[in-house]
Structure 1
């Protein structure tokens, strides 16, 4: 046994195999406890050279020295040995003397493991060969088979040739169509030729090696099931490669109907083309065509809808008797969101309405015409010879979501154990402002009450943190990590600094140096925000080490960061009673957070603060009675592709605040020397807003450059802060509105949705300046910073919530600038995008009953032709003019 363990520790795999071959089953079993103990030993530090050397030999020995199939499968697929496994050939060799049934049990257990377990396909396939069992068809096995078969470059032959020789081809091919997310792996091979999965499988059905009927059925079933885009592309390509005959297409009519109705766009288009061919050849019943048309015309893809209307027109031209069934189906497009689609559908109905044989169908068409936009509705009444169902006009009422209410912070956890649980959760998820501030205050309170009990409660949280295992694990000291090499770039870092301080992993001299440090020239616009946030954290850490604080003065009352003045006065009074020395950074942050917008409450609290008889009480009283600073003076700077704002100095923040907080009120210039910015954590922006909860413009000016990247540079994530910006306090001025404007033109849908949320919050709070936002959007579109198509999506999303008047109020100030450029031929905006924007504006004007003149609209509407741009301009003009003469 000792010789086996020595060989395993030394990583001599060949010697291990030789020793195992000479052992009986009983001797092997007796070795397993020591092998398990070695595994536990290596797991504590798996990245050392000794562990990497021993793992492959341990992998082999542990598999050979167990008798249970479940235990062996668990050992072979163990996570801790995944990176240094023994080769599949060696494992198959040491297991080859087991009974076939036992081997079959092992391989099926391995195949049931998830893909993330990374069980080698070669190992599973080798065990299948040894056992003679049916091949598994699990996700892990099929993915492994596809990857193994597809590596043509390793063998020099073709994928088609290898598939021909595979003894399990039929079973695995059938499983291929049932396996989730397999398209991405199939797509790694060639698109065409014998090395393409699609053409190879199609050729095998031609040769009779695969059952063609079963393969076609399986391919269609997979497309009907749906899945990720990669699956749609690959299996549709496979279906096309199968080149179905007309008889096969007719046999699967029900599948084509379902695919055209519900499948992904690219798949639905193919199904639609097949159905069109069948319909034009008279092999699709009128009822079937009407049913599928009703489904397709409800889809959002305009290309599919238009193609279906064209098909209906062709069928009606050939068969007049189909009008009674097909025209009501076509009329369902009257309710489509795109007015161009509505007009096409109306033209189709107008062209064939004479073929309608019954009055009931005419009444149905009249009822459907009520869904048309007003101009088309009037046209339908004249051209169809019927009047739409009349309804009493209903005054428009704007529907906005309720303005979000701030959430109060609960008290810090009373139990150190409960606090440790919250801190552990925050380190994993990051948390929001409320969770972070609760945890921060809780650490301070418990460090003051009973430091030892807090350290003991935090033991499970910190025991696996890298800084608690040694100063140089990542090549630098813990002190350097939190200062020069890394900094506090996230809220989790701030908590880690406090925990490391409690554990004694940060030198007192490092804490003292950080507290005394003064900010220099800004490296980037966000440096002032980061330094102000860090100043309080470093000072808290220093005081924990030297003179613990009883609690924090600056813990906010609300999740926005706002602190009620009465609460701050009470905390200062408790500090006075305890004789505690106030932390400068903590007090400065409290001043910046205290509510001054409610002048009556602020002045009443100031009187009580003055009676405290302390320097901090007097300072608070003076702060509360002073007038809050006005919005800083801004200057607009424009470049070729963006618009930015600069801000002037805020004198109030240049007083007796610590220098780290004075930086927040210094001028911001877009022409400063911008060095590398390491503020990459999107989650920090909410904490920066909480620094100045009644001065969001001061925060927005430092975040604007990054927010602009979501539209200009197609970045992702920076606009997530916009709803919090809208919920924050203070004036919503130029900077807030320009930030929202960039968000509405963001590249990624989640950023646009965040901007729409911010827009609705501002509107619900009565803080939205529609004229300012609309003008900003017009300028950004003209400069190419915002693409019209993205703005259209945002506007439609906002309007769909019921905010049609809000959207119209914005677009009425955006469109004139674009239409003016269009009139002079200087617009950089694509006409198609502008047409869509006019369409949204027209819908909002029609719903709200807006009546006014829009500058430059008439010139566009009077242009020759019937392009969509001109059509939508005329629609908007008609909506705005309706009733003006009355």
Structure 2
């Protein structure tokens, strides 16, 4: 068997180890022949597989070994090794390095060095698949690598432990270590190095301690890398290496000018280490110190500015003559964006004023205009001059915008001509679609009114017209309890058309479980229409169809409708009548009352004697099933806190009215929540109390109590208290509901905003983790700037006792901004009167933004603030 057949069979069998041994026995001519036959074999193998099939890659190792051992030139070998055919779809590093090194071992040293250099220049990234082979060839040949950044990054990425031993024995160390501080990409490869005793940090510091590399070279390399610039990620490893080396002042001294040049604009971590090393150097010249302080105090990072002020103060206290050079650095801090830093700079300027000299004092006087009014007055008085910046014109909040009209009249049901009456009734499928697509409650009420009016006027004609238009398998909802109004209207339409009616469905399909009272009232209205259809007792019209956009029924119109029913010798539907009573305005209509007194039916007599019930609603926050006290700053146990309403009133004797006025926590179909404000338009606090179980629910796909419902509550009538305040507080804290500000403004414009209750619930909602301080602050700030500043102040004042943390408890994120808003609105409306919790906060030690704003607010409320 000739040598090619043997090589081919070994390739086909993928026996790479035996292939290496066989190739090394071939002479030059045989190798040349094998090299010539390899492309043909590769083509044949490629033809066996689909172009997207990865199985050709299974032959890549033996093919690469065969080419590396037989192709004559280094350039040809480099091209063969990294053909696209041999690259796996999911690229990784080569796994055949040892085999390739073995098959290349008998090549001349110069040839292998040439191959190594060619492979270096093919590298494009630190994770290039050929990196391991390239580094191995370089180590074997001992040739100095060409300048190529990806090679250095790859050397760093492959780590410090070599197949033959640790870093100190790496032949590439002397060549590549200096380039480690210059090559792009090294910092990103080593950014996760953190442990000072492992990885590159541990290896380099250990080699420096052992004398294998020079500490000076590593320190100088780090500084040189810092001077080259880069992002914090690029420089992170070198910052850690520099700090792991911990240069002594004597090692820093030769690079003082370099460290100084790092202070003005290098990334924060680099500027921090430069500051640390320069502060440890004794004997820095006054000009160098002044340059360092000026650079630091001009930075935007507050941490660096604080470090610069501290360094300046300590240095001048040790060497008072340095006061002569502090004026310019300190005036840089006059322009800081932090009141704390401005105040500290002013204190240092006043403390060291005597040693500044006239030139320094003049510099400070020129910079007075950079300071706010209060600090400017202090400096101008101490330095005998300077232009104090006048206070910026105070923002003058506009007056509250006028509230829109509370309600507008709804168009009455149209007078229907005989030919068009039936056409106004939608087909069954259309009716259900209307209901399920969450059309407005006004549309639903019109559908109810039309169905009753048309069927009461000409039942036979309506039934005949509906019959062909309704599907004959109508019970798409099954025979379970009917929870949707649409099911009851569907049942009524089918009963009219006599299509598969369910006998006594009005009784059998009524849910037995406990439902929220407004929901149950709505289902009773649907059920009694169905019953009246079955028993042929429909009245000529409905009483509860609203006349106004709030859901109210005008008293005069309700009396007129009752007169129509009495004249027809009919009886009103019970649930419809009780809903109509709940929709009467709170203000009596004397003329309508007089007409009602002439009604003769039992329902008429009830209407004539009707007065709007007074209901007292209370809201208590409970944790789980336990009532009473709660630590509102306990962040770990506030997730189960919920508001629970209760209602107190004198029973009316009307079962559905009393059921709705008595607030109990019950389940309801969320699609009907939008009805509830119009169900109780004269008792908005009761309606808001019914909404309590749904106010805090924010699950995906659920109906949310949002600005539209809150606006309807705001435009309804009746007292407002804790329940309405809770709804408003919750939507104010929702960043997805900016319209909540309009609801607040509208309620405030009517002088109906329970501001203290809103503030109390803002505090409780934040404490319960339902809303964020920053979101509430944003909404309230917008309201204040649109004219509701007095109301916002009352809200903030009521919220602060709950929001301000007791000593030892970390403040919530954004609380400083909320206190700032409180102080600003208190100033705008001239508020006075101490809040004990604010006073306690103001008395604590510290300089945080929260404490400064608490002190400002306390001074405003107690009249102890000083302007100059």
Equivalent residue for 1:113, pick from 117, 120, 124: 124
**Partner in structure 2 of residue 285 of structure 1:** 286
**Partner in structure 1 of residue 45 of structure 2:** 38
Counterparts in 2 of 1:750-769, with a 5 A limit? none
Asked if residue 391 in structure 1 is aligned to residue 386 in structure 2, the reply is: no
Q: Radius of gyration: which is bigger? A: 2
Offset, 1:28: 2.0
Change (3 A) 1:697 1:354: same
Change (3 A) 1:166 1:698: same
**Partner in structure 1 of residue 182 of structure 2:** 178
* Aligned partner of residue 213 in structure 2, secondary structure: coil
Equivalent residue for 1:92, pick from 101, 113, 116: 101
Change (3 A) 1:884 1:84: closer
Q: How many residues are matched?
A: 594
Asked if residue 778 in structure 1 is aligned to residue 763 in structure 2, the reply is: yes
Asked if residue 875 in structure 1 is aligned to residue 856 in structure 2, the reply is: yes
Instruction: Verify the 8 A CA contact 1:107 1:128 in the aligned structure 2.
Output: no
Offset, 1:586: 14
Deviates more, 1:265-274 or 1:586-595: 586-595
* Aligned partner of residue 103 in structure 1, secondary structure: helix
**Partner in structure 2 of residue 421 of structure 1:** none
Change (3 A) 1:185 1:68: closer
Asked if residue 345 in structure 1 is aligned to residue 330 in structure 2, the reply is: no
**Partner in structure 2 of residue 438 of structure 1:** none
Offset, 1:214: 3.6
Change (3 A) 1:397 1:126: farther
Offset, 1:345: 1.5
The structure with the greater share of residues assigned to helix is 1
**Structure 2 CA distance, aligned partners of 1:768 and 1:59?**
79
Q: TM-score, normalised by structure 2?
A: 0.53
Instruction: Verify the 8 A CA contact 2:763 2:800 in the aligned structure 1.
Output: no
Change (3 A) 1:259 1:79: farther
Change (3 A) 1:862 1:191: closer
Equivalent residue for 2:221, pick from 215, 218, 231: 218
Offset, 1:348: 0.8
**Partner in structure 1 of residue 638 of structure 2:** 641
**Structure 2 CA distance, aligned partners of 1:769 and 1:759?**
17
Unaligned runs of 5+ in 1: 400-581, 598-612, 656-665, 680-684, 702-731, 743-754
Instruction: Verify the 8 A CA contact 1:851 1:883 in the aligned structure 2.
Output: no
Deviates more, 1:584-593 or 1:124-133: 584-593
Change (3 A) 1:215 1:83: closer
Change (3 A) 1:149 1:114: closer
Change (3 A) 1:325 1:862: same
Counterparts in 2 of 1:336-485, with a 5 A limit? 336-358=336-358, 361-386=360-385, 388-391=387-390, 393-396=392-395
Change (3 A) 1:670 1:383: same
Equivalent residue for 2:31, pick from 24, 28, 37: 24
Offset, 1:103: 0.8
Instruction: Verify the 8 A CA contact 2:67 2:80 in the aligned structure 1.
Output: no
Instruction: Verify the 8 A CA contact 2:834 2:862 in the aligned structure 1.
Output: no
Offset, 1:337: 3.1
Instruction: Verify the 8 A CA contact 1:219 1:235 in the aligned structure 2.
Output: yes
**Structure 2 CA distance, aligned partners of 1:3 and 1:874?**
92
**Structure 2 CA distance, aligned partners of 1:60 and 1:585?**
77
Instruction: Verify the 8 A CA contact 2:142 2:171 in the aligned structure 1.
Output: no
Change (3 A) 1:30 1:72: same
Asked if residue 830 in structure 1 is aligned to residue 831 in structure 2, the reply is: no
**Structure 2 CA distance, aligned partners of 1:735 and 1:219?**
59
* Aligned partner of residue 24 in structure 1, secondary structure: helix
Instruction: Verify the 8 A CA contact 1:260 1:296 in the aligned structure 2.
Output: yes
Asked if residue 267 in structure 1 is aligned to residue 248 in structure 2, the reply is: no
Equivalent residue for 2:134, pick from 90, 113, 124: 124
Change (3 A) 1:260 1:62: same
Offset, 1:249: 1.8
CA RMSD of aligned residues (A): 6.1
Change (3 A) 1:267 1:86: closer
Change (3 A) 1:264 1:875: same
Offset, 1:368: 3.2
Equivalent residue for 2:168, pick from 164, 170, 176: 164
**Structure 2 CA distance, aligned partners of 1:699 and 1:58?**
72
* Aligned partner of residue 244 in structure 1, secondary structure: coil
Q: Deviation per CA, 1:496-541, whole angstroms, max 9, x where unpaired?
A: xxxxxxxxxxxxxxxxxxxxxxxxxxxxxxxxxxxxxxxxxxxxxx
Q: Deviation per CA, 1:767-792, whole angstroms, max 9, x where unpaired?
A: 9999899767633553467898xx59
* Aligned partner of residue 150 in structure 1, secondary structure: coil
* Aligned partner of residue 80 in structure 1, secondary structure: coil
* Aligned partner of residue 336 in structure 1, secondary structure: coil
Change (3 A) 1:206 1:867: closer
Unaligned runs of 5+ in 2: 399-427, 444-465, 471-485, 490-545, 552-618, 625-636, 644-664, 676-689, 711-723, 749-754
Change (3 A) 1:132 1:354: closer
